[in-house]
Structure formats: structure tokens, C-alpha cells
Amino acid sequence: MPLPIERRWRDALLDALLPAPGGGLPAMAEVDRRAFWPRFDRTAPLHLRAGFRLATAVLAGLAPRLLGHRGTLAGLDAAERDDVVRRAAHAPVLSELVLVAKLVACFAYFDDPAVQAAARGPQAPGPESPRGASAEGAASTASTEADARRAPSS
């Protein structure tokens, strides 16, 4: 169970990683992640939980100061947060921690049903998808062509 300061840092980090994706998708800060975290703590492998906790402490607590900002990521404005994340993504060691944080951020983001629906886009109603129909047609055409190649020529 993270401490209150870790939760603030975690939320600031995730909000900085996905500020506003566009395309009708909400920013991470707009997504309700309350149901995600207990499930993540219960089901994620220990090494992922530990890696994310380390990434949060370093990227949100230490990196802003190392990169010339005052305070932690939670105390910075959006532009300063973006600066920290961008610079950390290109720094040795920090870049690996950014990748771990991005992975968990994506899990948290796409856990939200509204984000999933927006990402899928409008679903066209219909009895059968065209993808399935063309796959069947391609398989039968390939089968016919293979049979023709195997047949002895007269």
C-alpha cells in the first residue's frame, strides 16, 4: 500500500506521461483510476510493482531536482512536468524507469471503460465483419490455386 506522498507522485507521473492524447481520448488526469490500483497491487507481478514503485520515487521525487527544477513532480506545472519526463526519457538509467512507468500508465489508462470505447471508435452494426469474409475468401482461393498446382498437367 503506497504512502500518501507516493500516491501524489504516482498520479503526477501518470498525468505527465499521458497529458492529452487527442483523437477524442481523455487526458490521464480525467480518468478515474481508483478501481485500477487495488487490482494492480493484487495481481501485477512483484517485479513490476517494485519497478513501478522505484520508477515513481526516482522520476517524481528525485529526477526533477536532478534536472534543475525545484520540488517534486507533483509540485510542478504541466510544462515543467513534461520537461522532466522528456529529459528523463533520454537520460541513461532514467530512460528505463520511464519505460516501466509508461507501461503501467497504459495499463491504468486503458483499464477505464470510457477510454476503451473511445479508442475502439464507433462500431459499425452488421451480421458479419468484412475481415472474416475476406479471410475465408482468401483461404478458399489459396486452396484452389494449390490444388491446381498439384494437379498433373496433360
Between the two ends of the chain, the Cα-to-Cα distance in Å is 77
The amino acid present at 28, given as its one-letter code, is M
Residue 32 identity: D
Percent of the chain with pLDDT over 90: 67
Q: What is the pLDDT of residues 86-99, one digit of tens each?
A: 999 999 999 999 99
Q: What is the model's pTM?
A: 0.75
Q: Reduced to 3 states, what is the DSSP secondary structure of residue 118?
A: helix
Reduce the DSSP state of residue 22 to 3 states and report it.
Answer: strand
Cell numbers 498520479 correspond to what residue?
Answer: 11
- Cell 515513481 maps to which residue? 56
The conformation of residue 25, written as its DSSP 8-state character, comes to B
